Amino acid sequence: MGVMRREGRGHRDDTDCFPSAGRTVEAGALRAGYCGKTMSASQTSDAPTLLVKIFGKDRPGITAGLFDTLAGYSVDVVDIEQVVTRGRIVLCALVTQPPAGLEGGLRATVHSWAESLKLQAEIISGRGDNRPRGHGRSLVTVLGHPLTAQSTAAIAARITATGGNIDRIFRLAKYPVTAVEFAVSGAEPETLRTALVTEAAALGVDVAVVAAGLHRRAQRLVVMDVDSTLIQDEVIELFAAHADCEDEVAEVTAAAMRGELDFEQSLHARVALLEGLDASVVDKVRSEVRLTPGARTLIRTLKRLGYQVGVVSGGFTQVTDDLKERLGLDFAQANTLEIVDGKLTGKVTGEIVDRAGKARLLRRFAAEAGVPLAQTVAIGDGANDLDMLNAAGLGVAFNAKPVVREAAHTAVNFPFLDTVLYLLGVTREEVEAADMHVD
């Protein structure tokens, strides 16, 4: 299903129409005309209009045919929306009322044209355009596998309960998950987010809420965690398997999860268990790393859109540097295993990348790229990622623990990393179309 909507006019040189700094224009003058021209009936809020609705079996030429029919009655186009679902078209055209004495002819001609194509037509008289949008404009993205009618009803009802109105619904993807986007007015994004998070968890769907506006299109830098986010594995566990110390590493990890050790303590304790391991194991671990499904698609698509993409990890540069090269990432930062005389020493060198370090690196990479924090996206799964998720313009908890899901801006609980694209308004159709062309 696709919706086309156009709410503007062609580009004009703003210097001809709007005041420069230090100059003012009377509000009445702006209401009375635009760039010195008298406003047409289509530009006034209470002018008589006709809503022409056409629906039936889709075929080439319907849109052209309708407007060719309307062209004979001197009407202006105020708004157009069209959607095609499973071969059925719904085309709505809002036009100005024709000159006196012509409306009856317009109605008869449109109905006759529609009948000739075995379409149905409905024409409704009224005034003006759409009612003014309420304060607060949000985009609510819902992901389901499947997306049930029950879930959709519950989400829509909760939006209504917050005072929001659904202005438009658009499908972003049909697989690997069903993703739809609701354009909502009349409710603030934070109010919607609070109301929908609990509902979504109970329904088994994911819901993301972002403020509508230009800033959504301006996000230009993405930073990801590595373990259990970009890749399916925990790198320390892969090393531990080669050192025959998996159980010991698991015990330290469990102690850290219980809060008995902080990240730095647990990192040193686990790395110490790798002492004496031959450095050749690094290549073996690199070959064992499994990318999360959708990782390549996410990165490839973001790069096509001009994003800078990188990783910050509590893991090890011996793996993240390899991922950076393989995936064409712009930056990568992690801890470094010390290797002396071809053996792991059981120590790490350099500054530790921990929870605070990840947020600090996000800020550094954003500053180096000249990207405001509000235009950044962070993706992670663990408590170690929380500061980074909260610092970013959009923080995405990916298959995360409950405490992380609750604290992040939004959560994705499906095992496909490219579903993050839908939160940015990118459709599956756009991704696939781009993949058909060689960059």
pLDDT in tens, 142-154: 999 999 999 999 9
Q: Which of 127, 157, 183 is the endpoint of a domain?
A: 127
Q: In what order do the strands lie in the sheet with 77-85?
A: 3-5, 77-85, 88-96, 48-57, 120-127
In the prediction, which pLDDT does 340 show?
98
CB 189 within 8 A of CB 209: yes
Q: For the chain, first and last CA: distance in Å?
A: 27
Residues 232, 370: one domain? yes
In the prediction, which pLDDT does 226 show?
98
Which residues, including other chains, have CB under 8 Å from residue 204's CB and lie 6 or more apart?
Answer: 144, 151
Active site residue 227: yes
In the prediction, which pLDDT does 35 show?
44
Residues 270, 288: one domain? yes
Residue 439: inside a domain, yes or no? Answer: no
Active site residue 14: no
Residues 112, 171: one domain? no
Residues 243, 325: one domain? yes
Active-site residue, selected from the candidate residues 167, 206, 225, 439: 225
User: Whole-model pTM?
Assistant: 0.82
Residue 437: inside a domain, yes or no? Answer: no
Residue 172: inside a domain, yes or no? Answer: yes
CB 67 within 8 A of CB 52: no
Residues 255, 318: one domain? yes
Q: Which of 99, 127, 155 is the endpoint of a domain?
A: 127
In the prediction, which pLDDT does 198 show?
81
Q: Which of 127, 154, 183 is the endpoint of a domain?
A: 127
Spans in the chain with pLDDT lower than 50: 1-38
Nearest to 3 by CA among 86, 91, 83: 83
Residues 276, 381: one domain? yes
Residues 184, 227: one domain? no
CB 92 within 8 A of CB 67: no
In whole angstroms, what is the distance from residue 401 CA to residue 396 CA? 12
In the prediction, which pLDDT does 30 show?
38
Residue 310: inside a domain, yes or no? Answer: yes
Residues 340, 307: one domain? yes
Q: Tokens for 40?
A: 């047409």
CATH of residue 261's domain is 3.40.50.1000
Active-site residue, selected from the candidate residues 227, 233, 354, 387: 227
Residues 197, 293: one domain? no
Instruction: State the residue range of the domain holding 284.
Output: 221-431
CATH of residue 161's domain is 3.30.70.260
Residue 403: inside a domain, yes or no? Answer: yes
Residue 94: inside a domain, yes or no? Answer: yes
Residues 192, 322: one domain? no
Using CA atoms, how far residue 425 sits from 66, 148, 209, 212, 380, in Å, is 31, 21, 12, 11, 20
Residues 172, 104: one domain? no
Q: In the chain, how many domains are there?
A: 3
Residue 132: inside a domain, yes or no? Answer: no
Residue 438: inside a domain, yes or no? Answer: no
Residues 152, 252: one domain? no
In the prediction, which pLDDT does 130 show?
75
- Omega before residue 146 within 30° of 0, cis: yes
Q: Regarding beta strands 77-85 and 88-96, do their DSSP bridges make them parallel or antiparallel, or are they unpaired?
A: antiparallel
